[in-house]
DNA sequence: AGTCTACATGTAGCCTCTCTATATGTAGGC
DNA sequence: GCCTACATATAGAGAGGCTACATGTAGACT
């Protein structure tokens, strides 16, 4: 039950982040915990990955954020925008496509059985 | 049926390459075609990705190569070493783990249902 | 002969995302 | 005071896939 190879995460981080914010706004720290919980402990994404990624996602309009103070601590809470929701849907189908493609190469005979066309 | 996002391929290229060489040695150009065929046309990996990757894989001992001339054209044919076969097995289980983890975050309720606590 | 396409390999340099390491600060337990 | 958990942020490194380019053969068509 080792954790996931960092390189493999490339290009999938956005989908993960958008996904945990789908039903409720969360702040960065809570997002990291949610990722870990949902993955059964396999995803230990460092803060140096998450915070910049969240800012990037906000910059492109998929997320929006606002500051809040809870128990004397400051949090920047992120929520999914409608644009982000659309993006998430796209990321989900892209993931399914991707997983199918990789699986078809790695384990021939499973899935995509050369329907060609 | 767009092709796969290049960034998403990060860290999975090795597995793909090792996998197409599992049962038969192939040269670079044929590897690219095999990848495309096995994926139903979804994987159009550029030569600038494949050739350097093959060399890297040879450098670390997962592949071995030799030159051949077929029909007046020179080919460098790669084959899987025993070390590469072991690596491929590892890549396969890493992929299954990875796919399960991503799916568990992207589509909660499917697979890895928080067996932990 | 000249041109075009398919076959075939290779490199330089860019891009961009993830990671490591570090910095900053609050709250609460010991 | 010191340590841990909570909470955010940035600089710089590292890596690998991509674009673009360079090189060359074979065969078809004009």
Partners of residue B4 in chain A, C-beta under 8 Å: 97-98, 101
CB pairs A-B closer than 8 Å: 115
Q: Find the radius of gyration of the CA atoms of chain B.
A: 17
Tell me how far apart the alpha carbons of residues A22 and B86 are, in angstroms, rounded to a whole number: 39
| pLDDT band at residue A116 under the 50/70/90 scheme | very low
Does the pLDDT of residue A109 top 90, yes or no? no
Structural domain boundaries enclosing A77 = 6-106
Does the pLDDT of residue A102 top 80, yes or no? yes
- B84 located within any domain: yes
- A43 located within any domain: yes
- A60 located within any domain: yes
A10 touches strand C (CB under 7 A): yes
Residue nearest to nucleotide D21 (CA to C1'): B48
**pLDDT tens per residue across span B35-84:** 999 999 999 999 999 999 999 999 999 999 999 999 889 999 999 999 99
| pLDDT band at residue A107 under the 50/70/90 scheme | confident
Q: Of B100, B76, B95, B101, whose CA–CA distance to B19 is shortest?
A: B95
Facing B35 at nearest CB: one of A5, A15, A105: A105
- D chain positions with any atom within 7 Å of a protein CB: 6-12, 15-22, 24-27
pLDDT of residue B115: 44
A92 touches strand C (CB under 7 A): no
Residue nearest to nucleotide D20 (CA to C1'): B48
Tell me how far apart the alpha carbons of residues B73 and B45 are, in angstroms, rounded to a whole number: 22
Contact of B55 with chain A, judged by CB distance below 8 Å, is answered with: no
Overall average pLDDT of the A94-103 stretch: 96
- B113 located within any domain: no
- A82 located within any domain: yes
- B1 located within any domain: no
Does the pLDDT of residue A15 top 90, yes or no? yes
Return the residue in A90, A96, A105 with the most chain B beta carbons within 10 A, the one to mutate for interface testing: A105
- B112 located within any domain: no
With CB atoms and an 8 Å threshold, state whether B105 touches A11: no
With CB atoms and an 8 Å threshold, state whether A116 touches B4: no
- Alpha-carbon distance A37 to nearest alpha carbon in chain B (angstroms): 7
Which CATH number goes with the domain that contains B78? Answer: 1.10.10.10
Cβ(A35)–Cβ(B97) under 8 Å? no
Cβ(A76)–Cβ(B6) under 8 Å? no
Average pLDDT, chain A: 92
Partners of residue A117 in chain B, C-beta under 8 Å: 40-41
Total domains present in chain A: 1
- B111 located within any domain: no
A32 touches strand C (CB under 7 A): no
Overall average pLDDT of the A82-106 stretch: 97
Tell me how far apart the alpha carbons of residues B45 and B4 are, in angstroms, rounded to a whole number: 9
Q: Which long-range contacts (CB under 8 A, 24 or more apart) does B29-32 make?
A: B29/B75, B31/B78
């Amino acid at each position: 039950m080792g954790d996931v190879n960092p390189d493999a995460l490339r290009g999938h981080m956005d989908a993960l982040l958008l996904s945990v914010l789908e039903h409720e706004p969360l702040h960065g720290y809570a997002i990291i915990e949610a990722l870990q919980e949902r993955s059964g402990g396999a995803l230990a994404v460092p803060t140096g990955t998450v915070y910049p990624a969240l800012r990037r996602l906000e910059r492109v309009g998929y997320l929006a954020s606002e500051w809040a103070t809870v128990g004397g601590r400051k949090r920047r809470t992120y929520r999914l925008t409608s644009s982000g929701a659309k993006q998430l849907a796209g990321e989900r189908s892209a993931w399914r496509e991707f997983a199918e493609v990789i699986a078809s190469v790695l384990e021939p005979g499973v899935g995509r059985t050369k329907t060609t066309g």
